[in-house]
Amino acid sequence: MATCGQFKTTYREDIKVWKTLWLKSWFAFLFMLMILFPILNPADCYLLYITNICGIAVIGSIGLNMLSGVTGQISIGHAAFLAIGAYTSAILTATLKFPFPIALIISGFVAALLGLVVGLPSMRIKGLYLLLSTMAFYFITLYVLVHWKSLTGGVEGIEVQTKIGSFELDTDLKFYFLIMPIVVLLTAFARNFLHTKPGRACIAIRDRDIAAETIGVNLFKYKTIAFGISSFYAGIAGSLFGHYIGWITPEHFPFSLSIEYLAMIIVGGLGSVLGSIFGAIFIIAVPEGIRLISHFLSNIYPDVIMKFIDLKGVIFGLIIISFLVFEPEGLAGRWEKIKIYFKNWPYAY
């Protein structure tokens, strides 16, 4: 007699990440696709560059989603932690001659340590006041980067060296095989974290912090943990970004970058690891798509192209507003609805 549905009889079965053979098959397919993708593309093609940027954005967006989406703590200072990770890694490798892998890990922990400091007021303030405190931290960080010239190079920036021993990462292909394993590792950690006691405590705080405290959840402890994890992810993303572009300045980390990451988790889906991936790819790919369309139209309608470029920001904004109005659960919510539809087909319920 065939079983209908997926029934769990133990808690261990309920918290499994890959619960079915179907999910395991999809994971194996995506893993093979990640390996074959650079083989099917030239070593330094534009698509490979965009893929690497998307991978870095995925790490940063997962980190912000762990804070804002999972724990419900609003932050618009994410660009500051990206900058801290980038500058820490650059200083360690260029000035102190640290090996890149060690500098990468240290940059994540330095960002996490500062994230814990920023998270300290979260016990007493929340909502708009917490948002303002994270914004203040961003401008403090920006001021330090610009005026501490002996350490950061000021507005001129600092060169970033990327070597693992005698092996130099100087192509998009080499960076691809560095970035993607880190993306997979940190994504798997975030996915598992949601099923742990701290992860469930963070979700409880997001849903109703007073009720969570009543049942014994330590609000200060888990809010601080969320800030630390989010900042660690941002530090790793910032370090990878800095080493990838080869030269960093304060202009690479504008305040609008924090808004972009906030848009990633809103468009992708708050509180969803998969939504973080969808949102990061969407926010990175849409402007690039608009740019490619602009380039194509410039050969056909040269008089119209300048107006189209001016409307690029408007088009991008309308897309985000459309998601907020028509798909508030984000791309991850739409994906779940598609799966439910095909699972129940041909029935409507």
Model pLDDT, residue 173 = 84
Q: Cα 231–152–130 angle (5° rounding)?
A: 35
Model pLDDT, residue 164 = 74
Q: Which two tokens stand for residue 224?
A: 């601080």
Query: How far apart, in whole angstroms, are the C-alpha atoms of residue 38 and residue 153?
Result: 35
The contacts of residue 331 (CB under 8 Å, 6+ apart) are 267, 268, 269, 275, 278, 279, 282, 323
Q: pLDDT tens track of the chain, all 349 residues?
A: 445 556 666 666 666 666 666 667 777 777 788 787 777 766 567 888 888 999 999 999 999 999 998 988 888 889 999 999 999 999 998 888 888 889 999 999 999 999 998 888 877 777 788 888 899 999 999 999 999 988 888 888 888 877 776 777 778 888 888 999 999 999 989 988 988 888 999 999 998 888 888 888 888 889 999 999 999 999 999 999 999 988 899 999 999 899 889 989 988 888 888 899 999 999 888 877 777 777 676 666 666 556 655 666 677 778 778 877 888 888 888 888 887 777 777 665 5
Secondary structure of the chain as H, E, C letters:
CCCCCCCCCCHHHHCCCCCCHHHHHHHHHHHHHHHHCCCCCCCCCHHHHHHHHHHHHHHHHHHHHHHHHHCCCCCCCHHHHHHHHHHHHHHHHHCCCCCHHHHHHHHHHHHHHHHHHHHHHHHCCCCHHHHHHHHHHHHHHHHHHHHCHHHHCHHHCEECCCEECCEECCCHHHHHHHHHHHHHHHHHHHHHHCCCHHHHHHHHHHHCHHHHHHCCCCHHHHHHHHHHHHHHHHHHHHHHHHHHHCEECHHHCCHHHHHHHHHHHHHHCCCCHHHHHHHHHHHHHHHHHHHHHHHHHHCCCCCCHHHHHHCHHHHHHHHHHHHHHHCCCHHHHHHHHHHHHHHHCCCCC
Q: Global pTM?
A: 0.88
Cα→Cα distances 98→94, 95, 158, 175, 259, Å: 8, 8, 16, 19, 32
Which single residue is written with the structure tokens 């798997």? Answer: 188
Do the beta carbons of residue 50 and residue 177 sit within 8 Å? no
Q: Do you find a cis peptide bond into 346, omega within 30 degrees of 0?
A: yes
Q: Give the up-direction half-sphere exposure of residue 123: CA atoms within 13 A in the CB hemisphere.
A: 12
Query: How far apart, in whole angstroms, are the C-alpha atoms of residue 8 and residue 319?
Result: 40
Domain ranges of the chain: 42-344
